[in-house]
């Protein structure tokens, strides 16, 4: 008997009793799931296996006593998870791929693990594939929490790959399921936070605040300190962009306290930057610039190119407000060197450069930068930025008519 796999043992016991796959599955899982289990393409959870063993009137040990092959598979799977915990994702990926036909553990758990490993390695299409297989199974079984978990992960993968609208599509589907099942409060709060954060990134401030506020109302007993701090930080950013500086300052202060308490220096620096920006909004330009310079040093130490660029962009805005256009342009050019072409911040930087060169009356350069901004806003689906950039294009067209077009080579706004 030891040479038989789990699926083979279930098939043998079923046939000894004269059960069909449908009769064995009734009220426990689908008959197609029994077929997959017996053929080694799926692995039942403990609860499912216990229910099947009771129906077939055998102790669960009859089915789960490990063969040498099962021991090796489970050992390899455990090793793969340990490698992922140590961030050795390439080694974990190779090991998981070798187990794909015989995972030696619950298939849904294995596929979730494989998906996470692929996501960590930037293999986004490969990360989505196991989840796309699991979702219809969860739907057929009416497993609402599992559906939400899978949709959350699909959204995470889309968001990480820059597909923000697709991320919102998955998360909105998960949000629609919240009222249909008994959903873990932490999962609900994280889902709402993900939606709110992405709406903020896309410039939909009202929607962002609605979702973040809903997450905030159910937050503290379910989320880690770091997650609460991140939520406070995003609430601060949304309120700041809505010009509600009192609320923005409140949430920034709360986030700063939390991040300090968990000694998370990177996020503490993010909050410090947020506080610096608020001071600049309130007219305390020199103090704000000094704080942002300190943040630059910290991001430089961590080799965090993206946040270096974001900080330079914020400094450029302050320099523009104080009348130092040359300093602002220099900062924006520095920011552009740190962003990749598909970042929303790249579009924002080009937009600001266009406005600054317009102020300098260098219309050809302003138009060139505005074209770059418009194309990137369109690519990212950032409707608010696109509307604002189009508004600037109208002003540039109006001013263009007052100059000799041929002098500037006749470059037109193309987006």
Q: Which residue has the tokens 């020199």?
A: 286
Across the range 35-60, mean pLDDT stands at 82
Look at residue 404 and tell me if it is in a domain: yes
**Residue 77 binned pLDDT confidence (cut-offs 50, 70, 90):** confident
**Residue 143 binned pLDDT confidence (cut-offs 50, 70, 90):** confident
pLDDT score of 1 more than 50: no
Rounded-to-integer distance, Cα 196 and Cα 231, Å? 9
Mean pLDDT of the chain: 82
Rounded-to-integer distance, Cα 102 and Cα 113, Å? 14
Look at residue 55 and tell me if it is in a domain: yes
Rounded-to-integer distance, Cα 370 and Cα 67, Å? 66
Per-residue model confidence as pLDDT tens digits over 334-352: 999 888 665 788 999 999 9
Say whether 260 sits in a helix, a strand or coil: helix
Provide the residue range defining the domain that includes 61. Answer: 6-65
Other Cβ atoms less than 10 A from the Cβ of 253: the count is 15
Instruction: Give the global pTM.
Output: 0.52
Burial class (CB in 10 A: 0-12, 13-18, 19+), 244: middle
Burial class (CB in 10 A: 0-12, 13-18, 19+), 404: exposed
Listed in sequence order, the residues at least 6 apart from 139 whose beta carbon sits closer than 8 Å to its beta carbon are: 147
8 A C-beta contact, residue 56 and residue 24? yes
Rounded-to-integer distance, Cα 251 and Cα 216, Å? 11
Identify the CA nearest to 354 among candidates 385, 380, 384, 315. Answer: 385
Listed in sequence order, the residues at least 6 apart from 292 whose beta carbon sits closer than 8 Å to its beta carbon are: 273, 276, 277, 311, 314, 315, 318
| 355: phi then psi, degrees, rounded to nearest 5 | -65, -40
Look at residue 229 and tell me if it is in a domain: no
Listed in sequence order, the residues at least 6 apart from 398 whose beta carbon sits closer than 8 Å to its beta carbon are: none
Look at residue 372 and tell me if it is in a domain: yes
**Residue 205 binned pLDDT confidence (cut-offs 50, 70, 90):** confident
Lowest mean pLDDT among 92-96, 196-200, 220-224: 220-224
pLDDT score of 223 more than 70: no
Other Cβ atoms less than 10 A from the Cβ of 90: the count is 12
Per-residue model confidence as pLDDT tens digits over 228-257: 777 788 788 787 877 888 788 888 888 777
Residue that finishes a domain, picked among 65, 82, 112 = 65
Identify the CA nearest to 156 among candidates 136, 181, 131, 179. Answer: 131
Look at residue 48 and tell me if it is in a domain: yes
Rounded-to-integer distance, Cα 190 and Cα 231, Å? 9
Residue that finishes a domain, picked among 65, 95, 110 = 65
The C-alpha angle 81, 150, 80, rounded to 5 degrees, equals 10
Look at residue 39 and tell me if it is in a domain: yes
Look at residue 325 and tell me if it is in a domain: no
Rounded-to-integer distance, Cα 176 and Cα 171, Å? 9
Residue 401, pLDDT score: 67
Question: CA dist 379 to 156, 163, 307, 390, 415, Å?
Answer: 19, 10, 22, 15, 11
**Residue 408 binned pLDDT confidence (cut-offs 50, 70, 90):** very low
Count of domains forming the chain: 2
8 A C-beta contact, residue 371 and residue 378? no
Q: What is the CATH number of the domain that holds 25?
A: 1.10.260.40
pLDDT score of 126 more than 80: yes
Residue that finishes a domain, picked among 14, 34, 65 = 65
Look at residue 248 and tell me if it is in a domain: no
């Amino acid at each position: 008997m030891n040479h038989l796999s789990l699926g083979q043992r279930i098939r043998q016991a079923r046939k000894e009793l004269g059960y069909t796959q449908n009769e064995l599955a009734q009220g426990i899982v689908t008959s197609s799931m029994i077929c997959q289990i017996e053929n080694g393409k799926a692995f039942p959870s403990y609860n499912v296996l216990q229910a099947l063993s009771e129906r077939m009137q055998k102790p669960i040990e009859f089915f789960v006593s490990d063969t040498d092959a099962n021991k090796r598979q489970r050992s390899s799977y455990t090793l793969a998870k340990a490698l992922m915990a140590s961030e050795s994702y390439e080694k974990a990926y190779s090991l998981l791929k070798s187990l794909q036909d015989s995972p030696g553990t619950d298939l849904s758990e294995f596929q979730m693990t494989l998906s996470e490993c692929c996501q960590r390695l930037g293999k986004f299409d490969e990360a989505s594939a196991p989840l796309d297989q699991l979702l219809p199974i969860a739907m057929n079984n009416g497993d609402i929490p599992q559906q939400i978990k899978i949709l959350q992960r699909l959204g995470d993968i889309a968001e990480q790959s820059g597909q923000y609208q697709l991320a919102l599509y998955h998360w909105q589907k998960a949000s629609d399921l919240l009222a249909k099942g008994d959903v873990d409060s932490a999962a609900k709060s994280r889902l709402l936070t993900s939606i709110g954060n992405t709406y903020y990134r896309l410039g939909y401030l009202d929607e962002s605040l609605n979702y973040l506020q809903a997450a905030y109302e159910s937050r503290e007993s379910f989320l880690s300190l770091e997650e609460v701090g991140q939520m406070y930080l995003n609430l601060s950013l949304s309120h700041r962009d809505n010009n509600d500086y009192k609320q923005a300052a409140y949430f920034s202060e709360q986030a700063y306290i939390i991040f300090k308490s968990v000694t998370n220096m990177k996020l503490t620096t993010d909050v410090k930057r947020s506080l610096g920006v608020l001071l600049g909004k309130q007219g305390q330009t020199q103090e704000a610039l000094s704080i942002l310079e300190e943040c630059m040093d910290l991001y430089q130490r961590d080799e965090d190119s993206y946040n270096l660029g974001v900080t330079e962009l914020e400094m450029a805005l302050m320099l523009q407000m104080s009348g130092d256009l040359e300093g602002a342009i220099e900062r924006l050019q520095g920011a552009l060197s740190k962003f990749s072409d598909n970042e929303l911040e790249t579009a924002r930087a080009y937009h600001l450069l266009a406005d600054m060169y317009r102020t300098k009356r260098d219309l050809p350069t302003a138009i060139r930068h505005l074209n770059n901004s418009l194309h990137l806003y369109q690519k990212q689906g950032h409707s608010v930025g696109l509307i604002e950039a189009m508004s600037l294009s109208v002003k540039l067209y109006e001013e263009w008519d007052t100059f000799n077009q041929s002098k500037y080579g006749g470059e037109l706004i193309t987006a």
